[in-house]
Amino acid sequence: MKAVADHGHGRVHGARWSNALFIAPFLAVYLALLVAPLVRGMWTSLQDLDMLSQTSEFVGLKNFADLWGDEIFMGSVRNTFCFVLMSTPVFVVLGLALALALNRPGRTGAVLRAIFFGSSVLSVTIVTLVWKLVLMPHHGLLANLANAAGLPGFSPLTSEAWALPTIAAVTVWWIIGLPMMLFLAALQQVPGEVYEAAALDNSSRWRTLVHITLPAIRRTVVLVAVIEVILQFQVFGQAQLLTQGGPNNSSRPVVQFIYESGFTHWTLGNAAAASQVLLGIMLVAMALQMWVSGRKEAF
Amino acid sequence: MNIVGNNLADRLVLAAVIALAIVWVAPLMWVFALSFKPNEFLTQRTDVIFSGPFTLKNYIDIIGTSAVFRWIVNSIIVALSQTLAMLVLASLAGYGFARTEFPGKNVLFVLVLAGLAVPEQAIIVPLHLMFADLEMHNTYTALILPRLAMPFGVYLMTQYFKAIPRDIEEAALLDNASRLKIFFRVILPLSIPAQATLGIFTFLHAWNDYLWPLISASKPEMYTLTLGLASTQSNFGQSEGIGYLMSQAVFAGLPVFILYLFFQKYIIAAVSGTTVK
């Protein structure tokens, strides 16, 4: 079909080298600042590159072997997986719940939607500053509330058990608006007639949700879960600014490990190797995404 | 058109959501209120909101002593340049992929799409080395350029241009207009909604970016606002005092928040992708 149309206006539609000029500017940036660094990063991960001692030699897979035996790195991989497992289900369930509750016309709904989405336009440094203040041991908002309720104060950011869940909670507070908006957009695409039919059937609210609403927006549920998994694997700023990865390495994610081994210890070979591991994990996540989205056509 | 149900359940759900919304805004309101109190008072009490001493000193201190204005200017320069450059690069490339033919196009498109799978965190080490080789760290160029290589914008614009009916172009083609002319006169005006989506995305991302500025900008005068604020958090609550930190959060956050309220409709449309479909 397209080929026929192309023949009709061969003069302009035909393949021409000059048309590649549209692509050229982006392609130059892409090759120089994405493809080249990707290749160089792989090469660097095979080097013992230390900026402090100014050494650089080819060491094969030694950096990867070192990472395998590095308790801090392996801990950061565990922390990242835990973080994703804690945050993603909340993003999906709470995001959907808010969208269902706020899918209403009128002012109240608009104000509430603006409140839940508003925090996501703030930068990570403002969010962590606000929450460090809220969670201050003696003078924070939380300490005040605990005090007023007669409860003992506690400091979640300096607790090994609570540091990572607290970072996850702050992350949810920060960007719950994104999944909520994606779900709202999906809910508004569901035709009204199916609900009217359900109302005539006298279906209960719960049955309507499970049998009509959820099947109608299942693609968006999958999409949100995938987006959040990919986004949350890259967690960095919240952890670095709230806890510096502590206490006792209990909240350091992989990206923070990369940052620290590269730019505070200046062992760049090591950091490049850790980057390849992160890239590998992300590629597996994306392959899963493609597999799921390929399968969902068959649903 | 809403789910028909009994009124009581509806009200209970609404009450629960309102309660949650209060929990959501409480931290921001608390910080905002206390930012108008003297530091000395806050070392004693942080649970008094409506009464007690008020002061603007925290804000005056910010304006007088900190580098925050420089950081704001840096953020504006970086975010605006990055947004404009991204719109130009992505629109041109998107049009090229969607509407023109040239040898090797499909191979190149696959190559560009493959880049969607590369998170920028995975290439910061080599990026740092490349800009260090060129001695370009602590420049606006270094802060602006790397994000332009991310192919999301090209993907978005390609999809959008593909959806514009071909007939619109045919008329112009018969008029003997050049490709470039058609692009600027016909196609570009039609793609304003997609430009807005990509522009808002790019701007917010650039404004809030933390990792790359942290690596590339080591001189305080080249900090962006996001990075500069982080640098003042390291001596948290010790030198300047709680009230100063609170007013800093308000000072940096409020302009973005007000912009958000103004452009809410467009930002939400951009985020939920309704303009793209």
B76 and B39 in a single domain? The answer is: no
> Taking CB atoms and an 8 Å cut-off, how many pairs form between chains A and B?
274
| B25 inside domain | yes
Specify the residue for token string 């808010």.
A98
| B257 inside domain | no
Q: Judge whether A201 is closer than 8 Å to chain B, CB to CB.
A: no
What is the reported pTM?
A: 0.89
Structure confidence at residue B276 (pLDDT): 40
Does residue B85 contact residue B144 with C-beta atoms inside 8 Å?
yes
pLDDT single digits (tens) A119-178 = 999 999 999 999 999 998 888 899 889 888 888 878 899 999 999 999 999 999 999 999
pLDDT single digits (tens) B134-189 = 999 999 999 999 999 999 999 999 999 998 888 877 777 777 778 888 888 888 88
By CA distance, what is B41's nearest residue in A?
A: A139
The arithmetic mean of pLDDT across residues A66-74, rounded, is 95
Structure confidence at residue A155 (pLDDT): 86
Structure confidence at residue A70 (pLDDT): 94
Q: Grade residue A291 by pLDDT with cuts at 50, 70 and 90.
A: confident
Does residue A243 contact residue A163 with C-beta atoms inside 8 Å?
yes
B84 and B21 in a single domain? The answer is: no
Closest to B226 (Cα-Cα) out of A236, A144, A33 = A236
Distance from CA of B58 to the nearest CA of A (A): 16
- Whether A13 shows a pLDDT value over 60: the answer reads no
Cβ contact B242–A23 (<8 Å)? no
B55 and B73 in a single domain? The answer is: no
Structure confidence at residue B172 (pLDDT): 75
Cβ contact B27–A121 (<8 Å)? no
Structure confidence at residue A89 (pLDDT): 96
Please identify, among B22, B38, B60, the residue that sits at the C-terminal boundary of a domain.
B60
| B253 inside domain | no
| B160 inside domain | yes
Task: Find the CB nearest A125 among B14, B210, B215.
Answer: B210
Distance CA A236, CA A219 (A): 28
Q: A78-247 falls under which CATH superfamily?
A: MetI-like (1.10.3720.10)
Q: Which residue has the higher pLDDT, A223 or B21?
A: B21
B45 and B148 in a single domain? The answer is: no
B52 and B73 in a single domain? The answer is: no
By CA distance, what is A232's nearest residue in B?
A: B119
Distance from CA of A239 to the nearest CA of B (A): 12
Q: Judge whether A6 is closer than 8 Å to chain B, CB to CB.
A: yes
Structure confidence at residue B91 (pLDDT): 95
Using a CB-CB cut-off of 8 Å, the residues of chain B touching A122 are 208, 253, 256-257
List the structure tokens of A25: 């500017």
Distance CA B170, CA B182 (A): 10
CATH number at B76 reads 1.10.3720.10
* Averaged pLDDT of chain A: 88
B78 and B126 in a single domain? The answer is: yes
Structure confidence at residue A267 (pLDDT): 92
Structure confidence at residue B6 (pLDDT): 61
ipTM: 0.88
B30 and B107 in a single domain? The answer is: no
Query: Any long-range contacts for A73-77 (C-beta under 8 Å, 24+ apart)?
Result: A73/A254, A73/A257, A73/A274, A75/A249, A75/A250, A75/A252, A76/A245, A76/A249, A76/A252, A76/A253, A76/A254, A76/A256, A76/A257, A77/A254, A77/A277
pLDDT single digits (tens) A94-118 = 999 999 999 988 899 999 999 999 9
By CA distance, what is B215's nearest residue in A?
A: A263
Q: Which residue has the higher pLDDT, B2 or A87?
A: A87
Distance CA B157, CA B149 (A): 15
B18 and B55 in a single domain? The answer is: yes
Which residues, given as ranges, of chain B have pLDDT below 70? 1-6, 65, 235-240, 273-277
Please identify, among B40, B60, B80, the residue that sits at the C-terminal boundary of a domain.
B60
Alpha helices (H) in B35-133, listed in sequence order: 39-44, 57-65, 68-99, 105-114, 124-133
- Whether A4 shows a pLDDT value over 50: the answer reads no
B93 and B147 in a single domain? The answer is: yes
- Whether A246 shows a pLDDT value over 50: the answer reads yes
Range of the domain at B161: 66-239
Structure confidence at residue A11 (pLDDT): 45
> Looking at the 3D structure of chain B, how many domains does it have?
2
- Whether A254 shows a pLDDT value over 70: the answer reads yes
Cβ contact A26–B89 (<8 Å)? yes
Least confident interval from A80-84, A199-203, B114-118: A199-203
